[in-house]
Amino acid sequence: MTLLPEPLPSGAEAGASLLAAMAGRTLLLAKVSRESLTWRRVATVLVYELPLIAGCAALGALGCHAAGVEGSPALVVIGVIANKGPAVLDPVIDAAIDALKAALRRPR
């Protein structure tokens, strides 16, 4: 079983996924950061946001492919995942990791 969809997405599909994720993160950052922009702040955002954008695009595209969602609806889902995903997924993942740690600590 392979984790990648068959056939692999085209360059245009991958680019559209990245743009949708970038739009979602940009909307969030524009809402959160109303402070003045400096070169240092922009550089910091680029260092932290670019990997997050790529990850959200990949997770969203793979999830949409698995659910059978394609085209414009998939791009909307990817944008929403990029905008809301980390804030929603972090607590869920933290809770799952804590539950796994607790289960592994219990004597059998």
Instruction: Give mean pLDDT, residues 30-35.
Output: 63
- The answer to whether residue 79 scores a pLDDT higher than 80 is yes
The share of the chain scoring above pLDDT 90, in percent, equals 0
Instruction: Give mean pLDDT, residues 25-30.
Output: 74
Secondary structure E strands in 19-62: none
Instruction: Give mean pLDDT, residues 33-55.
Output: 75
Average pLDDT, the chain: 78
Tell me, rounded to whole angstroms, the distance of Cα 59 from its chain centroid: 6
- The answer to whether residue 37 scores a pLDDT higher than 70 is no
Higher pLDDT: 85 or 99? It is: 99
Residue the block writes with tokens 């070169």: 39
Instruction: Give mean pLDDT, residues 48-75.
Output: 84
Cβ-Cβ contacts under 8 Å for 29 (sequence gap 6 or more): 45, 49
Instruction: Give mean pLDDT, residues 90-107.
Output: 83
The torsion of the CA quartet 20, 45, 94, 96, rounded to 10 degrees, works out to 30
What is the predicted pLDDT for the residue at 5?
A: 59
Q: Print the SS3 string covering 16-31.
A: HHHHHHHHHHHHHHHH
pTM for the whole thing?
0.62
